[in-house]
Amino acid sequence: MATIKLTDDYEELDLKIGKTGDVLNSVILKLDTTITVPLYLYLYAPNGDYLGGIWNVMTSMPTCLILGSSFWSLNGKRSTLTGGFYRLVMTGIRQTGLSTGVLSYESDLSLEDCSRFAGELPAGFILTEHDVQRVERLTKEQEAIIEHQSAEDQLVAVQTAGMKLFKGDFHSHTFFSDGHMNYAEASEVIAAQRLDFIALTEHNAIDLNACPFGAVVLPSFELTLPKGHFNIHGIPRDAVISETSIHYLNTLQSIDALEANRILRQYQPNAFITLNHMFMEPWHCQDSSLDMQLIDAIEVICDPTYPTAAQANDRAIRFLDFLWQKGVRIFGVGGSDSHNCRGEYYESAVLPSIYGDPATYVYSESLEADALLSNASLGRMIVSRFVKLNVMINAGEILPGQWLKIEANKTIQYTVTIDWPDVYEGIDAVELLRDAKCQFIVNGAVSEQATLVKDRVYQMTVSVNATQDFWMRFGIIDGSGHVIAYVNPIYSRRESVPRMTYNTYLEEFDNIND
């Protein structure tokens, strides 16, 4: 075993581990520190492959990294290891005069030795070849399951390009970061909620091995900065923190100086980027200089059972409607942001915070990660709690999020049917949905409103002319006026509107809503 004293400045070290060319059973790194400043360690194999890392402070993961071909930790990539020089990149936010701790590393340990070296580890932190397989693409087994679903659970088909509606969650956590569930428990909730896809958006970290959860796993993480949180979907698993941002982090004098714009630009244009819980204190967006050009979607329903969520989500809806009325086209997305086990409730909550509440439904031609994210970026999404919405616009010719090219007067027939269960999480759905109202919003105003009634079809017909700036969406609010469902708008516009900074819009929005 060797120890290396670290400072909080940027450093790169070549670690000699084992004998060059020899096959190693495992490589283990452990960080011991009492200083609570952000510290990042990234390990690269002799051939340059990224193997994983340790993230201090930003997450609650154990500060150890275990690598091997038959067992490895969540924060490490399953690897066949050989002896040689491994590159260790270390960076932190500079704090003059402070030492960040001591790093220990050891090689060729057996699985039994891991607990001795790394200390007590949570159940499931170490994975083996028996419980992990890659599931980035839909397997034949998954296709068979979908194909043989019962009639009442069949995915709703629409006429446009053979699209289907897939149910998922774009924002969730496990104990990989600061969630409470291990992977087995997470899989049980995913199955119970009948999710087709899941985004495990851990804080500044990603599972490099794409563990199976009974659903398609979107490659995602939550970029967690002091002034805002953002979900980054669809990037390579080994590019969560790139070499560019490692060097960028080192140039900063304090964590408060972390600039979202510069980091977010690394992931464009290929990523699907969402602004999370933008009004939910203390995790609300405070980055006044945020370039809204970098944002594809805003969470309109997030962690809805959290004590302050209802007001925060309602404000997010109003803010997004405000942007649409100004001609700024940013879509709405949902995310449970669930950290809890299924039996855990927030104080005074009558429902648990679990994956799939809310659910985000995506119209897609297939259940592959690339297809789901491509369609999500086009706004082909419905966000809802408790109920499932079947939307037909001009008999399926038009999808939510779609831009309409209108050359003459056009009639739009917008029809919504709503499926709702008898019971949701042990509560009669009638009670949860009592006095709920369905609304058609046209150009920022409620055009039609009706009380939600089971088995009723809601329908609106509008006529749009070629010279009109037009947008229209459907939504549901509960008896207290809090959002239950949001369907992304359909729209037409004669000219594009350039986007500005978050603060520019927020100041105008606050003036209108004060």
Tens-digit pLDDT profile for residues 478-504:
999 999 999 999 999 766 688 999 999
Are residues 56 and 174 both part of a single domain?
no
- Domain of 442, CATH number, reads 3.20.20.140
Closest CA to 384 of 508, 472, 444, 301: 301
Round the CA-based radius of gyration of the chain to a whole number and report it: 24
The SS3 call for residue 6 is strand
Q: How far apart are CA 398 and CA 408, in angstroms?
A: 17
Residue 136: inside a domain: no
Higher pLDDT, 213 or 372: 372
Mean pLDDT of 104-126: 78
Among residues 95, 128, 161, the one where a domain terminates is 128
Q: 230-243 pLDDT, tens per residue?
A: 999 998 776 776 66
Are residues 93 and 190 both part of a single domain?
no
Task: List Cβ neighbours of 24 (8 Å cut-off, separation of 6 or more).
Answer: 17, 18, 68, 81, 82, 83, 107, 108
Q: 430-446 pLDDT, tens per residue?
A: 999 999 999 999 999 99
* Terminal-residue alpha carbon distance, the chain: 62
Q: How far apart are CA 328 and CA 491, in angstroms?
A: 11
Domains in the chain, number: 2
pLDDT on residue 61 = 75
Q: Residue 63: give the domain boundaries.
A: 2-128
Are residues 104 and 242 both part of a single domain?
no
Are residues 178 and 90 both part of a single domain?
no
Q: 56-69 pLDDT, tens per residue?
A: 765 667 788 999 98
pLDDT on residue 241 = 65
Residue tagged 């409620």 (tokens): 446
Question: For residue 396, is pLDDT > 70?
Answer: yes
Q: How far apart are CA 65 and CA 53, in angstroms?
A: 7
Residue 396: inside a domain: yes
pLDDT on residue 361 = 98
Q: How far apart are CA 395 and CA 418, in angstroms?
A: 16
Residue 141: inside a domain: no
pLDDT on residue 350 = 95
Question: For residue 255, is pLDDT > 70?
Answer: no
**What amino acid occupies position 213?**
F
Instruction: Please report which confidence band the pLDDT of residue 146 belongs to, taking 50, 70 and 90 as the band edges.
Output: very low
Are residues 467 and 432 both part of a single domain?
yes
Q: 26-36 pLDDT, tens per residue?
A: 899 988 877 66
Question: For residue 143, is pLDDT > 60?
Answer: no
Instruction: Please report which confidence band the pLDDT of residue 405 belongs to, taking 50, 70 and 90 as the band edges.
Output: confident
Are residues 154 and 54 both part of a single domain?
no
Are residues 123 and 211 both part of a single domain?
no
Question: For residue 387, is pLDDT > 80?
Answer: yes
Are residues 94 and 160 both part of a single domain?
no
**What mean pLDDT is reported for the chain?**
87
Contact between 390 and 416 (Cβ < 8 Å): yes
Question: For residue 100, is pLDDT > 80?
Answer: no
Closest CA to 373 of 215, 181, 218: 218
Mean pLDDT of 94-114: 73
Q: 332-375 pLDDT, tens per residue?
A: 999 999 999 988 999 999 999 999 999 999 999 999 999 999 99
Are residues 80 and 207 both part of a single domain?
no
Among residues 128, 161, 181, the one where a domain terminates is 128
Residue 135: inside a domain: no
- Domain of 63, CATH number, reads 2.60.120
Question: For residue 12, is pLDDT > 80?
Answer: yes
Are residues 107 and 253 both part of a single domain?
no
Residue 448: inside a domain: yes
The SS3 call for residue 319 is helix
Are residues 167 and 105 both part of a single domain?
no
Entry pTM? 0.90
pLDDT on residue 399 = 97
Q: What is the DSSP letter of 284?
A: S
Residue 139: inside a domain: no
Are residues 210 and 112 both part of a single domain?
no
pLDDT on residue 106 = 83
% of the chain surpassing 90 pLDDT: 58
The SS3 call for residue 299 is strand
Residue 142: inside a domain: no
Residue 138: inside a domain: no
Among residues 128, 159, 174, the one where a domain terminates is 128
Q: How far apart are CA 155 and CA 146, in angstroms?
A: 8
Contact between 500 and 511 (Cβ < 8 Å): no
% of the chain surpassing 70 pLDDT: 85
Mean pLDDT of 261-266: 88
Question: For residue 151, is pLDDT > 50?
Answer: no
